[in-house]
Amino acid sequence: MKIVIIGGTGLIGTKLAGKLRQKGHDVVPASPRTSVNTITGEGLGMALSGAEIVVDVANSPSFEDSAALKFFETSGRNLLAAEAAAGVRHHVALSVVGTDRLPECGYFRAKLAQENLIRTSKIPYTILRATQFFEFIGGIVDSSSDGQTVRLSPALFQPVASDDVAAALAGVTLGAPVNGVVELAGPDRFSLDEFGRKYLTTKKDPRKVVADVHARYFGAELDDRSLTPGSNPRLGLVRFEDWLARPAA
């Protein structure tokens, strides 16, 4: 089966491509690096020709509010139109747990706009909403740092390993479209400041984490519901401490 991965050269896309190839599928990683661009439309029709499934794991090169919104709206429109023309029968997209609960966060507004385009298209779809990847925690800590102090919210946080995201994505890609949302989170749930502390301790980084209920996460104050999944999420297998102990972490 021909499966096109938009963003197939990125962190998740590369892992997903490997998993789907192992199962014998004809996988096409599509991104500017492979001369396919969902913003300009370059190479899109050719890449999608004969494809049965498209997985969208592209990301905006800029996380600035209006740039991210423009990216996901333009990319989503161009991609869904090209899929309709090519007769694609399953559109899979990777989104973020809580996209509908954090309107103060511009990036989440952009992901919600992407999801809404999918919901109103006529293509059968599955949206996998994952929590934050372990690989993203260093970026959260850095963006919350002021010198030697890192202010992080004590709100509950339940991140997941990118390997678990790719595995869950492979499963929903090869399953029937659910025309709805599936949630995925990691096996451990504790406060965001605690994750930050564990991360810095393992890295032997001297910065100190301060729990602050008003600390903003990409523009938004958090509560215990903001970034955690609902009642029945799929859970990844990799524990944060085991991931931290890996040399590549």
Ligand X SMILES: NC(=O)c1ccc[n+]([C@@H]2O[C@H](COP(=O)([O-])OP(=O)(O)OC[C@H]3O[C@@H](n4cnc5c(N)ncnc54)[C@H](OP(=O)(O)O)[C@@H]3O)[C@@H](O)[C@H]2O)c1
Task: Establish if 112 lies at the interface with ligand X (CB under 6 A).
Answer: no
Q: Does 33 bind ligand X (CB under 6 A)?
A: yes
What is d(CA 40, CA 17) in angstroms, rounded to the nearest whole number?
23
Range 148-165 burial, b when 16+ CB lie within 10 A, else e: eebbbbbbbbbbbbbbbb
Distance CA 88, CA 182 (A): 20
Which region, judged by CB under 6 A, interacts with ligand X, from 51-59, 175-183, 193-201, 219-227? Answer: 51-59
In the complex, the smallest distance separating the C-beta of residue 39 from ligand X, rounded to whole angstroms, is 4
Nearest approach, Cβ of 206 to ligand X (angstroms)? 25
Residue 228 as a binder of ligand X (CB under 6 A): the answer is: no
The gap between the terminal CA atoms of the chain, to the nearest Å, is 33
DSSP sequence for 161-175: -HHHHHHHHHHHHHS
Taking alpha carbons only, the member of 90, 94, 91, 111 closest to residue 102 is 111
C-alpha torsion 27→125→62→238, nearest 10: -70
141 binds ligand X (CB under 6 A): no
Answer yes or no whether residue 99 interacts with ligand X by CB under 6 A: no
Q: Using CB under 6 A, which of 18, 61, 87, 230 touches ligand X?
A: 61
Q: Does 119 bind ligand X (CB under 6 A)?
A: no
- What minimum distance in Å lies between the beta carbon of 187 and ligand X? 16
Tell me: does residue 182 bind ligand X (CB under 6 A): no
Residues near ligand X (CB under 6 A): 6-7, 9-13, 31-33, 37-39, 57-59, 61, 94, 96, 111, 130, 132-133, 136
